[in-house]
Amino acid sequence: MANEALALSGIDAYYGDSHVLHDVTWSLGEARLLGLLGRNGAGKTTCMNVTMGVARPRRGAVTLFGQNIAGRAPEDIAARGIALVPQGRRVFRSLSVHENLLVAARKPEAGGKHAPWGFQTVYAAFPRLKERRHHLAGHLSGGEQQMLAIGRALMANPRVLLMDEPSEGLAPRIVAEVMATIRRLKEQGLSIVLVEQNAKLVFDIADDIVILNSGQVAVAGTAAGLRDSGIDLHQYLGIY
Amino acid sequence: MAPLRAITPGVSMWTILAINSVTFGGLLFLLSAGFSLIFGLMRVPNLTHGSMFMLGGYIGSTAIVTWHLPFWLAAALAAAAVAVFGGVVERLLLRRLAGSVLAQVLVTLGIAFMVSDFCLMVWGGDPISIDTPSALSGGTRTLGVYFPTYRIAIILIAVVIAALLWALLERTRLGAMIRAGVDDPEMARVVGIRVSRLFTVVFCLGAALAGFGGIMGAPILSVYPGLDFAMLPLALVVVILGGTGSLIGSLVGSIVIGFIYNFGLVLLPQLAYFILFLPMVVVLVLRPQGLFGRAAP
Ligand SMILES: Nc1ncnc2c1ncn2[C@@H]1O[C@H](COP(=O)(O)OP(=O)(O)OP(=O)(O)O)[C@@H](O)[C@H]1O
Ligand SMILES: [Mg+2]
């Protein structure tokens, strides 16, 4: 692909002896949204961990804007313009909302496309966070913590954003809010990987789809193409 | 008039004892604040902390007596040298033992014994005493009580350092990053925080404070073989009493232990250590997280 933001190619990853990712290859185009789907334990979070340097792949390359980052330390990878909204949100519970944003703040690269993210813009996007900025993150509701996890990732002014099941455990109204936020970020030109178990949510906004099954890429294609192809996706996605 | 005369020396003895207690508490704070931060933030039980105190005392005294450096320059040098020692121990040894408390206890205890031997070899067995810095010698007499300037200065310095440490941890970005690294080290790295480097900074800072405490205490306690293992249990008691990772706990714990230690030595010398460790045992049983510590989640 000509304008590739992030690509995993031929990734094999293990936890100890258990082989979790088998020759996984997928790529995210610039300013596109890739939906990464799959059942519990399919290997979605492991893909995120490998990309961020939290897990080391045994084989394969992770390419971010043309440079191989596989095997680098997470803090070095973070410095190259990629941020993660992790599964389970993982806000820093004993820090205030404001401090959670503060520790993740990073200057945008020169020549960024849209106005850089900072306290003002994040608080404007999530007014609820501004109201609660002196509260401890651990005391926020699930929805607020999700907003904070997204805000924290944006503070780094990333060019690629990874979101690992941002709708997990949230009420439908909050899920709709989160999805609207993601849509907005996409319109601003951010390249996004959205990990989900809920296929319907993803097909609504994704450009491309990758479905993992038992650590292997089972299906890959554009969202529109897959929708029209009539392939039965249910076999890979459990109940959805 | 006779009864008044009889009472006055008694009152001033109590006051002197009280001043000495708070002073000793100030030294204990310099010693235990670092111990508490290192244990509270990094979960490393650093049993070389008494050695760092003693090393600071020896290095600073040598700088004053042998090299004729001014007191405050010598104190800064002692703190810096001990910080380097702490950094080397942390980077080369403790870093490799992350997560294994038993190994950390054994290694730091081993290093403490090695430092003891090393100091005995270099500085010999005689206590080294140094003068108080000339600007702080003497004292003032107010309301019939004599306040020695140097001891009052130690108290003020301890309070100022407590305030600075608090501000560093709670009011700066660096402090927030350190706390984020404690909360969730992996996630902290993912947002770009160099957790490993920050933990080395915390370790060096704790070491520097202990070294500084050692030279500040030298004019009062002198420096002698065995000072390390005389101070280490006091740091443990303070931190258990105050709660690990809590600065205010270290400060209050230090002053409480300063009082118990000094008054115990005078009133019940045979039971001084019993009285010293009793509050620790009581706190451990009734409130294991310490007076100011947070309960483990
Ligand atoms: N830290 C770990 N140690 C050992 N095995 C692990 C670890 N983390 C995940 N696994 C295993 O690796 C496989 C892939 O897990 P992964 O977390 O990537 O799945 P996932 O697709 O994100 O699932 P979910 O939808 O439940 O989040 C699973 O079989 C899981 O049990
Ligand atoms: Mg997952």
Q: Do B227 and B17 meet the contact criterion of CB atoms below 8 Å apart?
A: no
The answer to whether residue A104 neighbours chain B at the CB level (below 8 Å) is: yes
Q: Which has more confidence, A72 or B277?
A: A72
Residue B293 placed within a domain: no
- Tell me the average pLDDT across B257-285: 86
Residue B160 placed within a domain: yes
Return the structure tokens found at B253.
Answer: 């714990």
- Tell me the average pLDDT across B177-200: 94
- Tell me the average pLDDT across B212-239: 95
Give the pLDDT score at B244. 80
Give the pLDDT score at A231. 75
Which of A53, A99, A106 has the CB atom closest to B176's CB atom?
A: A99
Number of domains in chain A: 1
Residue B294 placed within a domain: no
The answer to whether residue A171 neighbours chain B at the CB level (below 8 Å) is: no
Tell me the C-alpha distance between B237 and B93, whole Å.
25
Residue B111 placed within a domain: yes
**In chain A, at which residue ranges do the beta strands (DSSP E only) sit?**
4-15, 18-29, 33-37, 59-64, 67-68, 82-85, 160-164, 191-196, 208-213, 216-222
Q: How far is the CA of B181 from the centre of ligand 1 (A)?
A: 24
The CATH number of the domain holding residue B240 is 1.10.3470
Residue B109 placed within a domain: yes
Query: In sequence order, which residues have a C-beta less than 8 Å from that of residue B16 and are 6 or more positions away?
Result: B145, B146
Q: With H, G, I as helix, E, B as strand and everything else as coil, classify residue A87.
A: coil
- Tell me the average pLDDT across B104-124: 96
**In A113-178, at which residue ranges do the beta strands (DSSP E only) sit?**
160-164
Give the pLDDT score at B142. 78
Q: Do A185 and A192 meet the contact criterion of CB atoms below 8 Å apart?
A: yes
Q: What percent of chain B has pLDDT over 90?
A: 67
Return the structure tokens found at A236.
Answer: 């890979």
**In chain B, at which residue ranges do the beta strands (DSSP E only) sit?**
139-142, 145-148
| Crossing angle of helices B149-171 and B2-42, rounded to 10° | 30
Give the pLDDT score at A21. 97
Give the pLDDT score at B297. 38
Give the pLDDT score at B150. 93
Give phi and psi for A47, each to the nearest 5. Answer: -60, -40
Owning domain of residue A60 = 1-76+195-240
Give the pLDDT score at A1. 46
Instruction: Look up tokens 């008691």; give the residue.
Output: B237
- Tell me the average pLDDT across B43-63: 96
Tell me the C-alpha distance between B91 and A86, whole Å.
30
Question: Which residues of chain A, if any, have pLDDT below 50?
Answer: 1, 240
Give the pLDDT score at B153. 94
Tell me the C-alpha distance between A88 and A92, whole Å.
12
Give the pLDDT score at A190. 94
- Tell me the average pLDDT across B258-282: 86
Owning domain of residue B204 = 2-286
Give the pLDDT score at B129. 93
Give the pLDDT score at B16. 86
Sign, Cα dihedral of B217, B219, B221, B226: positive
pLDDT above 50 for B1: no
Q: What is the pTM of this model?
A: 0.89
Number of domains in chain B: 1
Q: What percent of chain B has pLDDT over 70?
A: 95
Considering only alpha carbons, which residue of chain B is nearest residue A76?
A: B192
**Range in B51-55, B103-107, B142-146, B150-154 with the lowest mean pLDDT:** B142-146
B77 φ/ψ sector (left φ>0, alpha ψ -120 to 50, else beta): alpha
| CA-nearest residue, atom 31 of ligand 1 | A41
Give phi and psi for A213, each to the nearest 5. Answer: -140, 120
**Ligand 1 cavity residues, CB under 6 Å:** A 15, 18, 20, 38, 40-46, 87, 197
In which band, very low, low, confident or very high, does the pLDDT at B3 lie, cut at 50, 70 and 90? Answer: very low
Q: Most A CBs within 10 Å: which of B190, B196, B197, B294, as the mutation test of the A interface?
A: B190
Q: Cα torsion for B264, B269, B275, B277, to the nearest 10°?
A: 110
The answer to whether residue A54 neighbours chain B at the CB level (below 8 Å) is: yes
Residue B295 placed within a domain: no
B136-160 per-position pLDDT tens digit:
888 888 777 778 899 999 999 999 9
Give the pLDDT score at B11. 66
Give the pLDDT score at A114. 64
Residue A39 placed within a domain: yes
- Cβ contact B179–A94 (<8 Å): yes
The answer to whether residue B187 neighbours chain A at the CB level (below 8 Å) is: yes
